[in-house]
A and B are shown apart, each in its own frame.
Chain A
């Protein structure tokens, strides 16, 4: 039961940022994908930061993936800066994919940078728990 509770909490943590701007219905909360590619763009902005990464598919073609992150407010608290990523950086990035199985879009969960550092994001939540 405790394990289930932890798993549920993690799912909630991963989904929470999505609610900040749009419905999360299209994303698969229980699945994770990990891809290695090259950063095309890292946009540090409200309400969502995003990372666009070119990822080669099995045919060797470059497929553009957009990973949605929470707002900079929460990313700063998880160790991010506006210059954490720049175009051309090699990264290994993980996220929750579309339920439809289409490539190209995911809700970000973590990234491993070229220098070996791994960054996640803090849940989009402020203040204490409900009394």
Chain B
């Protein structure tokens, strides 16, 4: 390569990268572009991206003071019963035939001392609502624009947006096990609607009771006192049960524990027969 080529190639590369970068940085197409010969055809203006919940401009927007602050570590009250949403003290709803098949298979497996479709045990995410009720602490960080919840188990993240945004278009949203939560304040109550759940058949509301992609939750939270949080839940999933399935749960504040990194690793199940043995029914 001669000297002149050595000078030209870097210059070309620089020009190309500047042109590429300009494509992302410039004003929306059609604005400020020359109409002269060789100009790119006008593109429809892209919708403005909403501010993120952590954007300083969003955090600084004037809002009424929240009636309570959930920032802290919380742990499901009531021990064992707290993990199974559908058992005591709640009553099971009338299941659809599709869900009833799963529930009957679960009941039959239990009679035979077997475990039916324990996908959580196989390290699939628990998802909502079990993420909130399993026997692991949840760290909650409340900002004016969102509440971030991290379950210690599998570091499962749940975000409740409080900045007035709507739920994402279902044709665009990436469906998840914890769903998409949008909340607002009604007097002394935090009201949250969660939807846009995964369509994978690994998401369970309870043992033997599946959650479909149409699963939806309405949660109404109150701080009973500084150390006790109460949530009234309404669960809706027309694919799996009729009408509304209601229940109430409480969480206690934890002040002597910080959540840690807790992974569900493949070697865990290799060493634990309770998740890898023949007692598991798929």
Contact = CB atoms under 8 A, between A and B. Distances in A.
Contacts, number: 127
A68 B262 CA distance: 16
Interface in B250-282: 250-254, 256-257, 260-264, 268, 271-275, 277, 279
Contact of B256 (A19, A68, A126, A130): A126
B254 A126 contact: yes
Contact of B273 (A21, A71, A104): A104
Interface in A101-124: 102, 104-105, 107, 123-124
B123 to A, nearest CB: 9
Contacts of B120: 21-23
Nearest to B77: A130
Contacts of B114: 25-26
Contacts of A98: 113, 273-274, 277, 279
Nearest to A130: B77
Interface stretch (B57-65, B94-102, B131-139): B131-139
A12 B118 contact: no
A24 B257 CA distance: 25
Interface stretch (B38-46, B156-164, B183-191, B221-229): B221-229
Nearest to B270: A66
A122 B228 CA distance: 22
Contacts of B272: 22, 48, 50, 66, 68, 105
A102 B273 CA distance: 10
A100 B112 CA distance: 8
Contacts of A99: 113
A47 interface: yes
B110 interface: yes
Contact of A21 (B78, B121, B228): B121
A15 interface: yes
B84 to A, nearest CB: 9
A18 B274 CA distance: 10
B170 interface: no
Nearest to A102: B277
B182 interface: no
Given A50-B272, A104-B273, A130 B113 contact: no
B250 A26 contact: no
A52 B267 CA distance: 13
B75 interface: yes
B197 interface: no
A124 B277 CA distance: 24
B55 interface: no
A47 B77 contact: no
A63 to B, nearest CB: 12
A27 B227 CA distance: 34
Interface string A14-34: 011111111111110000000
A60 interface: no
A71 B121 CA distance: 15
A19 B274 contact: no
8 contacts: A12-B79, A18-B274, A20-B136, A21-B120, A68-B272, A98-B279, A126-B73, A127-B254
Given A25-B113, A98-B279, A105-B277, 11 more contacts: A12-B80, A20-B134, A21-B275, A22-B115, A22-B121, A46-B260, A47-B262, A104-B273, A125-B135, A126-B254, A127-B74
Interface of A: 12, 15-27, 43, 45-48, 50, 52, 66, 68, 71, 73, 98-100, 102, 104-105, 107, 123-131
